[in-house]
Amino acid sequence: MRLVDADPIRSAIEQAPYILIACEGPDLVVTGLNAASSALFPGREVLGRPLGEALAELAGQQWIDMYRQVYETAEPLAGQQWRAHLTLPDGSVRELYADFSITPWRHPDGRIRGVIGGGTDVTEIVQARLSAERHAADLQQQYRQARDVVDALQQALLPRGLPLLPGVRLAASYLLAGAGAAAGGDWFDAVPRPDGTLALVVGDVVGHGVAAAGVMGQLRSVLQDRLDGGDPPAQALAAADRLARRVPGARAATACVAVVDLASGAVEYCTAGHPPPLVLSAAGAGRFLPATGAAPLGTGGAFPSATARLDPGDVLLLYSDGIIERPGRTAPAAAEELARVAADAVAGRALHAPDVCPPERACTQTVELLVRATGYSDDITLLAAQLVAPPEELHAEVPADLALLGGLRRTFGAWLSTIGAADEDAFALQHAVGELVTNAIEHSAGHDTVRLSARLTPTGAVEVTVTGRGAWREPQRVSARGRGLALTSQLVDELSMDRSAAGTVATLRHRLTRPAALLDSAAPAPTPPVHPPQPVEPEIADDPARPDTVVVSGPVDAASAERLQHELMYRSRGGTVPLTVDLSAVTHLASAGVAVLHAVAARHRIQGTELTLLAPPSCPARHVLTLVALPYS
């Protein structure tokens, strides 16, 4: 039997449309790669160099570890649709998905020579699938309906969100076992305390389902109440222990409680049958704190505590044992893997996400990278905290001129972004502050300036004061204006007015929260949305595709409301012809704009014609129209 000549085979491999990288020896020196592989790393010398040196950015993404594991164990590995981030010569990052197999490369006598990795680029297939999933509204609706009970229970029992506090960044993630088949018993909490410390809790009730979730809610309430009252971890857990002895379903529940001094970094913690906290340094090292030896709740044990200290930039990670007890891993191996992967995520060595803070990377990327390799069989909860410098207060002063209102609103919005305010809170605060500044300018009575100050309080609330030196004038009961304060009071938690002959000081307070990530193992962790720059002035234009329709885009405030009214009255011939106003692209609708819409609607009613306002669910104007009782479609 005659063998086929080697040259055609070598040529075919070189031109094959799949990825092939061969490494030799214990250092995994790259001794062969075909054209498709070389194209993944343009401008880079890979051949003849150790794999970990030539493709250093893959070290935190498990690929180098898998080559090394195959070389050491001589057992092949394979995976489907794994994600990788590759750095290009211009510094940009390419996202790649691949189906792959990594197999041992042997000498003729059977000894291990090296490792051969082969793969297929399935990026287009995965992106098409993800795009279809994002746009499959009907399927999403069916999924949501199937999980209504679970979602409602989780939302009722878990925190509405994590507090946004000066001096610390917080993040949390929750992955349910069973794809939503049953509510889980894991929980987390972050409790700001009156003395300036922060209590962190992750706990786990035995079992799943509604009963386990109900018990979880009881234990969480007890711990939250005691920690809010200033109890140290041991006393708070002792109170939960007394409840667990009375409630059968709470017996053997576990919890880790850590109280962090945000000023000094001192940590007091207790592990009641729970895995110990993990400290991740900014440089990318991970170390577990010693377990304190406390027993699970309701089992009759004591609750000794221990102390530690966080250095600047350290991330403290609390987690449930679902991330440790993954299929095919021993507990020591899984713990070592958790420490390594979480450290890579915090240090930015894993998946490329420069706009995501280290605690969020620790809570999302860690779960994605670990679960995709092994799967999981229990709920997984992660809670991360990183001490940071408190944000600076905002102080701004502008002339009492409505034309400058947009610039002040953008300055305030930029400050909200720096402190990490969520979109919903930023929307409410920018609207409320816009109304207060407008009110101060209109009441300025010729005075020069209006002052704005904002700070993030130790309890996680934004406190804003707007000071104007004009005399207060009570709004008329029947007026085209005067809705600003009513709207503001509905948007924020507290609003107070201090009126005097010297002027008026308006103060509002609004508590900020950041949502935790409820993860779905079928999809990668979400990336931060890219917000397009907001226009400075509104655009008002006829829609050529829809007769008698006006499209309004951008911000509508006191400086632009008069123009809007003029344009709408012109196009409706003073309200004598029907008009549709599309507000889908309006980014800011102040009370002055609301007053215009009310006035135009009243003119149409007098003329017996119809004014239709279009505000779909996704647009900011819809929320404002609901508050001010303006009908919309």
- 600 sits in the region (left: phi over 0; alpha: psi -120 to 50; else beta) called alpha
Per-run averaged pLDDT (10 residues), the chain, 633 residues: 55 86 95 92 92 91 94 95 92 93 94 95 91 72 57 61 93 78 77 94 84 86 96 97 92 94 96 95 94 90 95 95 90 94 95 92 96 89 95 92 87 93 91 88 74 94 88 48 70 87 86 85 45 65 90 86 90 91 88 82 91 88 75 89
Strands 162-163 and 513-514: antiparallel
The predicted pLDDT at position 154 comes to 55
Phi and psi, residue 171, nearest 5°: -150, 155
pLDDT of residue 521: 59
Q: What is the pLDDT of residue 478?
A: 43
Question: Using CA atoms, how far apart are residues 172 and 360, in angstroms rounded to an integer?
Answer: 7
pLDDT at residue 524, as a whole number: 44
Tell me the torsion sign for CA atoms 363, 366, 372, 373. negative
pTM (2 decimals)? 0.74
Report all structural domains of the chain as residue ranges with CATH numbers, in order of start.
Answer: 6-127 (3.30.450.20), 151-387 (3.60.40.10), 394-514 (3.30.565.10), 532-627 (3.30.750.24)
Q: Is 198 helix (H, G, I), strand (E, B) or coil?
A: strand
Task: Residue 491: name the closest of 555, 424, 441 by CA.
Answer: 424
Round to whole Å and give the CA distance between 318 and 202: 6
User: Could you give the CA distance from residue 414 to residue 586 in angstroms, rounded to a whole number?
Assistant: 19
- In this prediction, residue 525 carries a pLDDT of 41
pLDDT of residue 625: 80
For the chain, give percent helix, strand, coil, nearest 5: 35, 30, 35
Ramachandran quadrant class, 242 (left: phi over 0; alpha: psi -120 to 50; beta: rest): alpha
pLDDT at 225: 96
